[in-house]
C-alpha cells in the first residue's frame, strides 16, 4: 500500500476544510496517509518537493484547480525519474480537472478513488514569459477570460463558481481587443481577437465545457481563438458553458504541441485560474508527465 502525502489547502472553497475530517475519511478507508496543513503557497511547494526528493511518489491535494496547479508546479521542475501520482480531494470553488474524468466532486467520493489501483498518465503543459516557466494541467488562457480570472480572485469566496461569470461581466465592456499572432509547429495565424484559450482538459470556470474535444493524452493542446464583437460575447457564453460553441463563426480551433502568442496591446495570462503575467507567451506540451489518480 502506498503512503500518501496529503496537503490540505484551508483557503480553498467557501469555508475552510477541517484537516481532522480529511484524516478521519482517509483513515476510515484504510489509507496510509500523512497530512500536512501548510500556511502558504511557498510552504506547500517546499513540503511537496521535500517529500518527492525523499522518495515519495504519491501526493494528494485537498483543494481546487488552483491547488492542483500548485502541486504540479512543485513536482514538474524536479525532473523525477519515476512519474509522480497525484490525487485530488475536491473542496475548492471549482475542480474542473476532475470533471473531464467524471470523478466525484465530493470529498468522500474522491477519497475512495485513492484506494484503487487506477491511474491515468496525463499531459502537462507549460507557459513561458517574463515570469519564467509555469505548468498547467487543465486550461490556460489569455485575453478577456484571463482578465475575468484575475477579477474573480478578488471577489469573495462565498459566491463560489458564480465568481467567474460575474467577473467576466465586469471586465468585458472595457477590455481591449487585440491584434494576435499565434505560431504553432504547423501554422501561423494573425487575426484580431478577444481571447485565446489553450486547453489541455475540457472544463473550466466551474463547469464551462470550453474544450469538449480536448483530451489529456494526445500530446497536443486544444487552442481556440475567440473573435467576436464584445456586444456578441454574452450570447456566446451559454454555448461555451454547454460546449456547443465550436461551430460558431467567432471560434477558430486548432491543435498544437507548441505555441507562441503575441498580442498588441499586451494581455493578461492565467493558468488553472491563477494569473501569471502578460503576453508575449510561449508554451509546449510535456506528454504523460503525471499519473492522475482516477
Pairing state between β 195-199 and 178-184: unpaired
Largest interatomic CA distance in the chain: 56
State pLDDT tens for residues 48-76.
999 999 999 999 999 888 899 999 999 99
Confidence (pLDDT) at 200: 97
This prediction has a pTM of: 0.93
- In this structure, are residues 54 and 83 in contact, taking their beta carbons and an 8 Å threshold? no
Cα–Cα distance for residue pair 261/246, rounded to 1 Å = 21
Q: Which of 46, 44, 52 is nearest to 79 (CA)?
A: 52
Q: What is the mean pLDDT of residues 28-43?
A: 95
Determine the pLDDT at residue 67: 92
Enumerate the domain spans of the chain: 3-117, 128-287
Residue 265: cis peptide before it, omega within 30 degrees of 0 = yes
Which CATH number fits the domain 128-287, given the four candidates 3.40.190.10, 3.20.20.70, 1.20.58.220, 2.60.200.40?
Answer: 2.60.200.40
Asked if pLDDT for residue 93 goes beyond 70, the answer is: no
Quick check: do 3-117 and 128-287 share a fold? no
> What does the pLDDT look like over 255-289, one tens digit per residue?
999 999 999 999 999 999 889 999 999 999 999 99
Task: Flag whether pLDDT at 207 surpasses 90.
Answer: no
Average confidence (pLDDT) over 151-174: 80
CATH code of the domain made up of 3-117: 3.40.50.10330
Q: Are 191 and 225 in contact (CB under 8 A)?
A: yes
Amino acid at each position: 500500500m502506498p503512503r500518501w502525502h496529503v496537503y490540505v489547502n484551508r483557503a480553498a472553497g467557501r469555508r475552510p476544510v477541517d484537516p481532522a475530517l480529511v484524516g478521519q475519511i482517509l483513515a476510515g478507508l484504510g489509507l496510509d496517509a500523512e497530512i500536512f496543513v501548510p500556511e502558504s503557497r511557498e510552504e506547500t511547494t517546499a513540503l511537496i518537493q521535500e517529500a518527492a526528493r525523499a522518495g515519495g511518489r504519491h501526493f494528494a491535494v485537498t483543494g481546487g484547480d488552483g491547488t492542483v496547479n500548485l502541486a504540479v508546479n512543485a513536482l514538474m521542475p524536479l525532473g523525477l525519474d519515476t512519474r509522480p501520482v497525484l490525487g485530488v480531494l475536491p473542496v475548492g470553488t471549482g475542480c474542473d480537472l476532475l470533471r473531464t474524468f467524471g470523478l466525484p466532486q465530493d470529498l468522500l467520493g474522491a477519497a475512495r478513488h485513492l484506494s484503487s489501483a487506477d491511474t491515468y498518465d496525463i499531459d502537462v503543459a507549460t507557459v513561458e514569459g517574463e515570469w519564467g516557466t509555469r505548468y498547467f494541467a487543465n486550461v490556460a488562457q489569455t485575453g478577456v477570460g484571463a482578465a475575468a480570472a484575475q477579477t474573480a480572485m478578488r471577489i469573495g469566496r462565498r459566491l463560489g463558481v458564480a465568481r467567474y461569470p460575474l467577473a467576466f461581466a465586469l471586465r468585458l465592456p472595457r477590455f481591449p481587443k487585440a491584434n494576435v499572432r499565434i505560431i504553432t509547429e504547423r501554422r501561423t495565424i494573425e487575426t484580431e481577437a478577444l481571447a485565446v484559450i489553450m486547453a489541455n482538459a475540457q472544463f473550466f470556470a466551474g463547469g464551462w465545457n470550453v474544450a469538449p474535444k480536448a483530451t489529456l493524452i494526445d500530446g497536443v493542446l486544444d487552442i481556440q481563438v475567440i473573435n467576436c464583437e464584445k456586444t456578441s460575447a454574452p450570447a456566446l457564453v451559454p454555448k461555451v458553458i454547454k460546449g456547443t460553441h465550436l461551430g460558431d463563426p467567432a471560434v477558430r480551433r486548432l491543435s498544437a504541441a507548441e505555441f507562441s502568442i503575441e498580442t498588441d496591446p499586451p494581455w493578461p495570462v492565467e493558468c488553472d485560474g491563477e494569473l501569471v503575467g502578460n503576453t508575449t507567451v510561449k508554451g509546449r506540451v510535456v506528454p504523460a508527465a503525471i499519473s492522475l489518480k482516477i
